[in-house]
Structures are given as structure tokens and as C-alpha cells.
Amino acid sequence: MDGVVEDIAAVAVRLAEGAGLREVLPDAADPAVWIALDAEARHGAWLDGSWLPAWERTEQGRTLNDDLHRGEELTDGRLALALCHRDGRIRERALGRAAGRPDLLPLVVLRCADWAEPVRETARRLLAELLDADAAVRLLPLILRIGRRGRGDFVADLAAGLLRGAAPGTLAPLYTHTHRTVRRWAYRLAVEAGHLSPAELARAAARDTDMVVQSLCADATLAAVAEGGADDDVLETLLGARGAHARAAGVTALRRAGRTGRAVEFLGDRAGVVRACARYVVRQGGGDPLAWYRERCSAAGDLAPGVVSGLAECGERADADLLRALTSHPVAAVRTRAVAGLRALDVTDVERMRELLDDPAPGVVREAALALVPSARSLDDQWLMARLGPERPRAERVAAFRLLSAHDGVVRLRAAFALIDDPDDQLRHWARQAVRR
């Protein structure tokens, strides 16, 4: 497709010479094809005393207007060029010949947002006659692109009206469309029109990779469950979803389903929003999430990083000892969450955080540096400068620069000049920004 758009001038010439639309536009479902053709048809270059597009310099290009005016039979390709012509009168006349030619419908959509009012109104009347639900589904990527333009609301509203009243299965191809904008639009309309059952919404929330679709479908599932009761399949689909918002919706639904005990297993979820919902549901069932977190963080053995974060999220300063002990845990993710947890509780052991600047895990080093920023001026700046050396691991160099930047102006500038020509792009960028300040 990229090659077609890049060589769209040659495409326009071939259309003028009689080539078929399907022959030269193999990816006609891509809105970029039609938008590029529309622009190229009017894109001229100064040559031999005239300013004309390349296709108009061909023999058939020069006669297109006369052939159209005389009512000559035109190929779809030549009529497509007339629909994109720089002269609004030619575009309007071409619209009168577009009925019964479904391959030209994308250009009729484009003309509905035309800057010339007679062209625009003619195109809108024609599209209202020609567009049905199936065509709206097929052309929706283009319709949504045009809908964002000035004067483009007509096509978007027309498509929405057709699809809102269509059979529920009509939208099915849009739910798996490669463009997330199309999927978002389709699911919003489906939710609004009630086209999808709670089970279908739950599967969409669990399956789709786009966070907006996940949230939209998960929220709609919760609303449907609230009205009709929780279904086992719906709950299990949400609880097993990869997306955090879908899992959180499933956990929230456990309360209404009277299964608050099931929420305990999500107290240590990897996502904060899921943990928060799980704590709420467990408390509603009479449980004590904080006691659960404390018990697991104090026990030996495997520990999920989410459990450590959960303790910090609902714990107290008295829980700092538990978190401090976990900064020596063999699992890097657990150490990272423990350091972040101490910072969240506003408990900073400067000496321990200083030691963790040498941790082999970049995440731990990053969190330790963030914890030390308020105490940066108490650290030896010469010791930190030595850690900027190119032989050091990148995470340590970044941490040292972050802490040196929190020192006074002279120290900050020394650190910046030490890295101003560093081969690391990000460090060099930060250093130059510091110098400019």
C-alpha cells in the first residue's frame, strides 16, 4: 500500500489512460488510498507554460472534461479523476454519473465534505441514496477519517444512523478491525444500541489489546451484570483477562455475585487497579487485606511483587520494617517493589538506599535513586561524579546524574558537562538540557 501512495501520480496517469480502479488500487479498503488520489488529482507542476497535474497532460486526460460534458461513456478510473478534479463544476457533474458504480462510493464520501457547497450538497443527496449498512461497514475507516474534517459530520452521522438500526451481526467485522479507532467506534455504538450480550462484552474486554476498548466493554459488562445478575462465564472471562481494567471489573462483580472470598486471590495482582478493587471487595466481605499482606510479606518462600506493592498501598509506617527486609529479597521485582513501597510510605533509610544504588537490577537502582532525591545534597558529590563513568552500568549512571542534578547549581553543571558529549543519547540530551537551564 505504501508503494501505491508514494507513486500515486503514476496511478492517476494510468487511470486517465483507461486502467481500471481495481487494477491500480489493490488496497482500496485503505482510506489513505482515496485521500492520496483526491489530493494528487489536483496536484500540478509548472511545465510548458501551464500548471497541470501529470494525468491531465495525457491525451485522454485533456479530453476528460469534454467527454464528461458530451455524456460519453467513461471508465470508473476516468470518472474517479473527474470526481477529484480541481474544478468544482466538473466534480459536481461527475457525481451525476457515479450512481450504480459501487467502486466510486469512497470518492462520493470524500465529496460530502467538499469545500464547494453545490458539490457537497449533491454528494450528500447521492450518498444518502446509495449508502446501506453493509457499505457503511466496508467504508467506515474512510468515513471516520472524513468525519474528523470540517464539514465531515454528515457522513459520520449517516453511517451511525444506518448501523445503529442494523442487525446486531452487521457490526461484527468491525470488532476485529486492525485500526483501533474503528474498533472503538464500533464497540461504542454496539454498547449504546445494546447489540452485545454481557458474555460478548466480557470476551471483547478480555481479548482486545486496546485499553479504551477494554475499559468500554468491561464497564458495559458491569452495568449489564448489575441489571441481570452475574453469570459464571462472564465472571471467569473477566477474571482471566490480560487487561487490568477487565480483571478489575471482574473482581468488582464478585461482590454483587456474593463471592467476596474469591477476591482474595487478586490482592497480589500485578496491576494496582485490580489490587484496589480486590481490597474493597474483601473488606465488604469482612476480610482484612492489610493482615493478609503482612502475613505474606513476613513469611518465607515465594512472594509475588504485587503483594509487596499492596502492603505499601494500604500499610502504615510501622510496616516499613517488613518492606526494608524485602530489599534483600533474591527476586529483583520484589526488591524493586519494596524500595518503591518505602518511598510511598515516606520512610527513607538513606544508608540502605545508597547501598542499593549498586544493585544489579536496574529497577531497584532507579527506585533507590528516586527515594534519595530529597536527601541528594547529603551525598558526596565526588562519589556520585565517579559513578558517571562510561564503564559503569547505565542504570547507575542515570541514577548518579539524577542525584547530582538535585544538588546545587555548580555540582549540577559539573555533572552536565561531564556527559555533554556522552555516546548515550538520553544522557547526552539530559546533560544539554541541564546546561541550557
Checking if the pLDDT of 166 tops 60, the result is: yes
Tell me the average pLDDT of the chain. 90
pLDDT (mean) for 204-212: 93
pTM score, whole prediction: 0.80
Checking if the pLDDT of 23 tops 90, the result is: no
Confidence of residue 10 (pLDDT cuts 50, 70, 90): confident
- Cell numbers at residue 361, please? 537490577
* HEC string for 75-87: CHHHHHHHHCCCC
Checking if the pLDDT of 113 tops 80, the result is: yes
Please give the tally of structural domains in the chain. Answer: 1
Checking if the pLDDT of 180 tops 80, the result is: yes
Domain-located, residue 348? no
* Cα–Cα distances in angstroms (integers) from residue 59 to residues 10, 51, 66, 75, in the given order: 15, 16, 12, 15
Checking if the pLDDT of 1 tops 70, the result is: no
- Cell numbers at residue 278, please? 480486590
Domain-located, residue 81? yes
pLDDT (mean) for 382-395: 94
Domain-located, residue 384? no
Domain-located, residue 232? no
51 phi and psi, to 5 degrees?
-120, 95
pLDDT at residue number 264:
96
168 in helix, strand or coil?
helix
**Could you tell me which residues come within 8 angstroms of residue 47 by beta carbon, excluding any fewer than 6 positions away?**
57
* Cα–Cα distances in angstroms (integers) from residue 38 to residues 83, 283, 434, in the given order: 8, 61, 47
For residues 406 and 416, the answer to whether their CB atoms sit within 8 Å is: no
- What percent of the chain is predicted at pLDDT more than 90? 70
Domain-located, residue 120? yes
Specify the range with the lowest mean pLDDT, choosing from 13-22, 53-62, 212-221, 397-406.
53-62
Which residue type, as a one-letter code, is found at position 394? R
pLDDT tens figures, 299-323: 867 899 999 999 999 999 999 999 9
pLDDT (mean) for 333-345: 96
- What percent of the chain is predicted at pLDDT more than 70? 96
Domain-located, residue 113? yes
pLDDT (mean) for 155-172: 92
* Cα–Cα distances in angstroms (integers) from residue 173 to residues 31, 168, 169, in the given order: 17, 11, 9
pLDDT at residue number 3:
45
pLDDT at residue number 4:
45
Checking if the pLDDT of 252 tops 80, the result is: yes
Specify the range with the lowest mean pLDDT, choosing from 265-269, 300-304, 425-429.
300-304
pLDDT at residue number 354:
95
Domain-located, residue 284? no
pLDDT (mean) for 388-406: 94
Checking if the pLDDT of 206 tops 60, the result is: yes
Domain-located, residue 249? no
Residues 202 and 221: their CA atoms lie apart, in Å, by 6
Checking if the pLDDT of 49 tops 70, the result is: no
Residues 202 and 234: their CA atoms lie apart, in Å, by 6
> To the nearest 5 percent, what fractions of the chain are helix, strand and coil?
70, 0, 30
Residues 352 and 52: their CA atoms lie apart, in Å, by 73
Give residue 55's domain range.
1-130
